[in-house]
Amino acid sequence: MNSPQLEHTASRAPADRRSEQGFTLVELAIVLVIIGLIIGGILKGQELIASARLKSTLTDIDAIRAATATFQDKYGGLPGDYFEGQAQLGTPNGVTWTTPACDNANQRCDGDGLIEGNGITNETLLFWQHLALGNMISGIEVAAAPSTSIGVGVPAAAIGGGVALQNQNIAGRTTHWLRLGTGANLTTGVATGLQADTIDSKIDDGRPGTGSVRTTTAACISAGDYNPSGDQCLMYYELN
């Protein structure tokens, strides 16, 4: 005759074995599907964020172009080159530009129709000061010695880096170009080959060496088109 203790142990054994069997294939499949959905959601979210930053950068470029045109209409000169920049615009809190100061003899606010400098010097730095003082753009700190830092003296870009201005020859065309880059002089590109292609295709002709949007970064060009594997593409946008 079996003892009560043995019967109790025997009746409990099947349940114990079931608990030791772990997940079923159906349960594992459900878990894998959930993990896949989470990963897919993260990747899609990153894609949407990158796309939003790209669109925001293009919007900011358009806003700078529009601000420049508005400044010209209102003051009759280009920001940075405006020959009455110091006297007409004035500065808040009694600030007077000293580095660089408006100085006709040294290509600063000389009214010759060119915005001179390498992107963070002379008129190319005062360009942002004039736009800020004319209430054409925001996010620029007006100071006696304007900063060359991204997000302080030159605008930051949502895609990364910042925007500088230079009058130079880019792929055979000399004009005023907005330069999207990073580094001490904003001369290191921040766009990937795919981003550069998207930017150019959206607002220009989709070709790296022609039109109002260009790049001269060799790694970002392949047989006259954008190289999708390129990186650190230094992008140029014609100002006007």
- The DSSP line for 28-68 is HHHHHHHHHHHHHHHHHHHHHHHHHHHHHHHHHHHHHHHHH
The radius of gyration of the chain's CA atoms, rounded to the nearest angstrom, is 29
Query: What's the average model confidence in pLDDT over 126-150?
Result: 90
pLDDT at 151 over 50: yes
Q: How far apart are CA 235 and CA 163, in angstroms?
A: 10
- Given 3-state DSSP classes, what are the helix, strand and coil percentages for the chain, each rounded to the nearest 5? 45, 15, 40
Which strand ranges, in their side-by-side order, compose the sheet holding 213-215? 162-170, 173-181, 235-238, 213-215
Mean pLDDT of the chain: 84
Stated pTM of the model: 0.76
Is 102 in contact with 85 (CB distance < 8 Å)?
yes
The more confidently predicted of residues 4 and 225 is: 225
Residue 3 CB neighbour total at 10 angstroms: 8
User: Residue 108 pairs with which residues in a beta bridge?
Assistant: 103
Q: Which residues pair with 164 in a beta bridge?
A: 179
Query: HSE (CB half, 13 Å, CA atoms) of 99?
Result: 4
pLDDT tens per residue across span 91-127: 554 445 555 677 766 667 788 899 999 999 989 999 9
Given a cut of 60, whether residue 215 has pLDDT beyond it is yes
Residue range 11-31, pLDDT digits in tens: 554 555 555 556 787 778 888
Give the per-residue pLDDT at 50.
73
Pairwise CA distance, residues 65 & 237, whole Å: 9
Q: Which residues contact 200 (CB under 8 A, 6 or more apart)?
A: 206, 207, 208, 211, 213, 226
Q: What are the pLDDT digits (tens) for 41-91?
A: 777 666 666 778 889 999 999 999 999 999 999 888 899 888 765 555 555
Single-letter residue type at 2: N
